[in-house]
Structure 1
Amino acid sequence: MKPSTILKTAAIFGALAVGIGAFGAHGLKPMLEASGRLDTFDTAVKYHFYHSLALLALGVWASAKPELKKTGLSFWGFTLGILIFSGSLYTLCLSGITWLGAITPLGGVAFIVGWLGLLAPAGELTKR
């Protein structure tokens, strides 16, 4: 994966995490408290932000070490994790569609794959 693609994706996801988090904390707080979903929304924002930062770190690492070629698994794991894990929780909180909770763990698995995917580029560095 190209470092510029990783960094652009991190920038977009980071900006969205701040915007969605602020909107939830201010504009949606009464609705989320009334539905008992404030903690769920907060979890979605936290994981969204953590993995936006993970994408940023991956992009910086790939920029600093252009010989790294095996960053795609981490990129896609983190990206799909944000979309599926945080996205399903955001949608659940805003719509009340409870079956979405059943797909949230798939996003968690994607996050795990993203973190484990860091083993491949790390292994490339040790081959020198």
Structure 2
Amino acid sequence: MRRALVLPLLLACSGGSSDEGRAAPPPPAIDAAADAGPPDASPDHTPSDALTRCASRRAAVRSIADAVAQLGALVPVDGPCFVASLERPLAVTATHDVTSAQPAASKESPRLFFLLPGVVVSAVPEGEGGKLLELGEWVT
């Protein structure tokens, strides 16, 4: 079935053109600096000495056991310290849902989900769940 669909598509795409024999132009150059994503923090942000120490102990967290080990290695530890110690880049999404065990304080202080390779960590910066980290492992 796939072959039956792919063959007509290939034939339609390989039709001749008036530019036959002419070499295709090279692809545009990719500016690696522009593609690197945003910096870790704005230039106006100066991390505290405590967060700098936490960030110096970066670790790959791929399971709940890894997260517990990392939390144990960061004494004293809190949520911001744990997040600072996570391997970069971070995939983060946010929600302002207030009907959960770890509710967002407001739209300005959302619930954050850190989507790591083997585990999801959720945290809120302030409010009722501000001192908690919620962990869940990806299952396949």
- The TM-score by the shorter chain falls in which range? under 0.3
Higher relative contact order (CA 8 A, sep 6+): 1
Q: From the two aligned structures, give the one with the greater strand fraction.
A: 2
**With structure 2 as the length reference, what TM-score do the two structures score?**
0.24
TM-score scaled to structure 1, two decimals? 0.25
Which is richer in helix?
A: 1
